[in-house]
Amino acid sequence: MTLREVQEILEAEVFFGHDQLGMEVKTAFGADLMSDVLAFAKAGSLLLTGLTNPQIVRTSDVLDIAAIIIVRGKSPLPETIRLAEELNIPILGTKYILFETVGRLYMKGIVGCIEKVSDKRDFS
């Protein structure tokens, strides 16, 4: 689905990236621990998180995350938005809690970027 459809499903506010809502997304990873995001999230996925600091953008940048969705009605810090603009990563916010955000997207076809953790190394 497109990021625009994600935005509509989540009734999300777009903090940055209005011009990128046409991008296609298929997978997502949800976590508040950037350490876990770095270990498990795959390129091209949405990042669903409750954190609002600039490290969510840095983490997304190194991992080639497609877009960031901040959950639980929080707003990104001003320096987070500035960094998202600099690195050109869309950043949206929804009032839904993480569980509801995930459930609503999953029902419409977005799946996890991995199903389970595995012992095998996978760099994608």
Partner 1 sequence: MISHETVIYENSFSLEGRTFKNAGYISRQVKTLLQRMKLSKEVARRAAIVTYEAEINICSYAERGKIILQVTPKRIIIEAIDEGQGIADIKLAMKEGYSTATEKIRHMGFGAGMGLSNIKNFSDFFHITSKVGKGTHLKMIIRI
List residues binding partner 1 (CB under 8 A).
32-39, 43, 49, 51, 53-56, 58-59, 61-64, 87, 121, 123-124
Phi-psi region of 92 (alpha: psi -120 to 50; beta: other; left: phi over 0): beta
Nearer to partner 1, 39 or 97 (CB): 39
* Inter-residue contact 69 to 12 (CB < 8 Å): yes
Smallest distance, partner 1 to C-beta of residue 41, A: 10
Sheet-wide strand order for 91-93: 13-16, 91-93, 67-70, 46-49, 27-30, 111-112
Smallest distance, partner 1 to C-beta of residue 1, A: 23
Smallest distance, partner 1 to C-beta of residue 114, A: 14
C-alpha 27/C-alpha 90 separation (Å) is 15
Nearer to partner 1, 21 or 25 (CB): 25
Structure tokens at 41: 């999230």
Nearer to partner 1, 58 or 82 (CB): 58
Smallest distance, partner 1 to C-beta of residue 87, A: 7
